[in-house]
A and B are shown apart, each in its own frame.
Chain A
Amino acid sequence: MPLISSFSYYGEMSAEGVTSDVRENYENGSSRLKARTLSRLKILAGLPRAEWHEGYFKKLSGTCEGLWEIRFEADNVQQRPLGFHLSATEFVILFWAREKGNKFAPKKACEIALKRKAEVLKNGNLKHALWLALE
């Protein structure tokens, strides 16, 4: 079955190419973090948006309104990549947050992600096709 959804991520262009803390977070992560990231993105990519259930994905509210989080645990830490659906089939990962005691780390995670969301909506060059192959 072909993938239904695709992912992109926030990154700024520099002389060396794309600079992205989202990607750096993955590249510098443990084997377990890499495996689970790949696994969860693959699962989500195989499902229509309407079936991105809460165990995997959650709409945020309050000061994080306008953002969604991908939810999984790796290395005993709740990983929470934040982003939004640019279209019915494309999800943009804006910032890689973690959750500790029901609070995001860093505390400004939503603020950063919302700022980046506005930037991406103005300038599509700030989002890039996911560096991972999901199939």
Chain B
Amino acid sequence: MPYGSPWSEQFVRQLSDKEVRSEFAADQIRARIALLIRSLREQSDRNWTQAELGERAGKPQNVISRFEDPNYGKMSLQSLFDLAAAFDLPVWIDMPKWEEWFALINDVPNQGTQRAGFDLDKLIEQAREGFPSEYAPIPTSGGAASAAAEAVRNMVMAPTQMDQIFGAPLNANAYPTNSNRLPLEKNDSAIGSAVCARNVAA
């Protein structure tokens, strides 16, 4: 696999059959929803049981158990909203280009996935202070925002470093997550991914 590319030629060839890639894409989402719910439920500052999450989402424990089963795959959009509300988190969906999607699916929800719920004081503070240095900005044009965000999420980088990599003025938008970020010097390949995401945009 070339340096910086999040997928290999063989990986893409395995998806050359439309039926295979459609089912692969669907199964990835089924499995990731199940993992995401479990990861957020078990996040250290929540540490809820399935019954506790169920109480907050207005569903019995056995339904939460089903949602955490990667083979279930019949969750309604409303149920997803109910769970997100229980976590006090928003939901975002997209139908990205395949190259963006390949980059996104490399990040599997796990015990390191940390998503804090709505924090009014913190958000107001960020609004007043402008761009929070702990979050990296992402390009928002060309439909590559998701892939770029994924690459950027994995690193901690000063705005000047972002300038050097993306070669463009910073956008004021921030990607508000702090999950799975690694110090830049420990994750040099993230630069390759970021550059790759940038190339996608170009």
List A residues at the B interface (Cβ < 8 Å): 1-2, 31-32, 34-36, 38-40, 42-43, 46-48, 50-51, 53, 55-56, 71-73, 132-135
Contacts and interface: CB of A to CB of B under 8 A. Distances in A.
B173 interface: no
25 contacts: A1-B154, A2-B189, A31-B17, A31-B19, A32-B23, A34-B14, A34-B17, A35-B19, A35-B20, A35-B24, A35-B27, A36-B24, A39-B23, A39-B27, A40-B31, A42-B105, A46-B107, A46-B108, A46-B110, A47-B110, A56-B70, A72-B71, A73-B71, A133-B14, A135-B8
B28 interface: yes
Contacts of A40: 27, 31, 70
B20 A135 contact: no
Interface in B15-72: 17, 19-24, 27-28, 31-32, 34-35, 38, 68-71
Contact of A1 (B38, B106, B111): B106
Nearest to A56: B70
Contacts of A36: 23-24, 27
B6 interface: yes
B23 A35 contact: yes
B95 interface: no
Contacts of A43: 28, 31-32, 35, 70, 108
B10 interface: yes
A55 B69 contact: yes
Contacts of A32: 19, 23
A38 B21 CA distance: 10
Contact of A55 (B1, B6, B34, B105): B34
Contact of B11 (A31, A50, A73, A133): A133
A4 to B, nearest CB: 9
Given A47-B108, A135-B8, A38 B180 contact: no
B173 to A, nearest CB: 23
Contacts of B8: 133, 135
